[in-house]
Structures are given as structure tokens and as C-alpha cells.
Amino acid sequence: MTARGPGESLRVMLADDHKVLRDSLKLFLEKNGCEVVAEASTGEEALALAVKLRPQIVLMDLEMPGVGGLAITHHLGKLASVPRVLILSAYDDEEYVIEALTRGGAWGYLVKRDGLDELLNAVRAIAAGKRYVSPSIAPILLGRLKSPCASGSILDRLTPREREVLRLIGHGMTSKEIAERLGISPKTAQVHRENLKQKLNLRTTADLVRYAIKHRIVDPA
């Protein structure tokens, strides 16, 4: 990330499919010395805009149409000019937090209910080169450090692409629909489906749907 010069605004991109939330975040951030250079409502749009505009920080929601936030965060880490990603999520369970901060490569993880003041603290900390997590989820990381084996999850064995396929299966999509959404062949989507059954020791698509809901890969509501 390119350092800011004296008096320069911090360049931020918002990636969330809820426009009302984006509008609120933009207003708040721009009142507090940031410049919102782009807004994205899908994972694919977020990646394209990040490549084009090179923001310094990306506020990334996990649940977006298309390729989800974790997979896009992983892709952003491969860019020549790497933005620092702050996950802004409704979810605070261990599997999301650990994956986002380790394999995902995020610089921080903030739970939406923590509020705007906490968001500003997180953005400023990450801009200064520090990692940041919500106070409410800090115990999750401490627990992982104390007992890494006990805190492990079978979901850790899934690739970002497999997580995306599982999320879409949880939303009831067929292999053909998943293929169209992710830009892959139906055969490849079916292979991912079968691999998920094997890795998760499940037998049917209904089992995959129940697993995705139970582990909050999708929102049951």
C-alpha cells in the first residue's frame, strides 16, 4: 500500500451489496478524513475496481452476490498494489474470523454491530500498518492461540472456491446455476459438489445445504 503524504485523504473502497449501508459508511468516512474512491455491490465488481483504482483500504462484506468476500480478499492479496482489507461482517463465529485473517489475508475483522466509532478505529489502525479485530471477537483469537488443535475446523480443509460453491449450494443453486454464477463449466461445478461431499463426509445435496446453514456459510433467514 502506498504511503499517504501530509494532508492526503485515505483512499477507501466499499464492497457491500446493501446500498443503504454503503451510503451511511461513505458519509461517515468522508466526514472523518477518508476519500471513498469506489463502491462495489458484487465480488467481481470489487476486484475489477480495486485493480483499476488501487484503493489503500477495502471494506469488504463476506456475503455478496457472485464471488464472496473471502475469495475476493484472497485475490486482492495477489495484486501488484495490494490494498489492506478490513472484513466488515455480520458474522462473528470462529470459522469466518480465522479463515479471513489467515488464508484470506485480511488485515482486520470487524463485526457490523460494533458501530461506526469502532470502524473508524479499525480503518486508522490498518492504515498505520496494524492488524485489527473487534473487541467482541478478540477472545476467539486468544482461544485459538491457547488451543490451536481444539479450535481447528473441518472447513479449514476447503479452498476459497469450495467455500463459494458450498455457499451457493446452501442457497439452493443447481450445478448449472453455480457454473453460470462463477464462470466455470457445469462439469467443474459438479466436481466441486462431489469433492465437498467427500471432504465433509456428507452423502446428499440436502446434507450440504443443512451443513452450510448450520455453519452459517449462508444465512438461514
Q: What is the pLDDT of residues 40-66, one digit of tens each?
A: 998 889 999 999 999 999 999 987 777
* 152 confidence band (pLDDT: 50, 70, 90): very low
Question: Higher confidence at residue 213 or residue 174?
Answer: 174
Domain 10-146 part of CATH 3.40.50.300: no
* 82 confidence band (pLDDT: 50, 70, 90): confident
Q: How high is the pLDDT of residue 156?
A: 67
Q: How high is the pLDDT of residue 146?
A: 57
Average pLDDT value for residue range 180-204? 88
Q: How high is the pLDDT of residue 202?
A: 86
Q: How high is the pLDDT of residue 151?
A: 41
Domain with CATH 1.10.10.10 in the chain: 154-214
Q: How high is the pLDDT of residue 23?
A: 96
How many Å apart are CA 202 and CA 130, to the nearest integer?
A: 40
Domain with CATH 3.40.50.2300 in the chain: 10-146
- For residue 71 the three cell numbers come to 475469495
From 73, 217, 219, 209, select the one nearest 155 (Cα to Cα): 217
* 220 confidence band (pLDDT: 50, 70, 90): very low
Partnered with residue 89 across adjacent β-strands are: 111
Q: What is the fold, at CATH topology level, of the domain defined by 154-214?
A: Arc Repressor Mutant, subunit A (1.10.10)
Q: How high is the pLDDT of residue 41?
A: 92
Average pLDDT, the chain: 84
Q: Which of 24-33, 37-46, 87-96, 108-117 has the lowest mean pLDDT?
A: 87-96
Average pLDDT value for residue range 137-157? 62
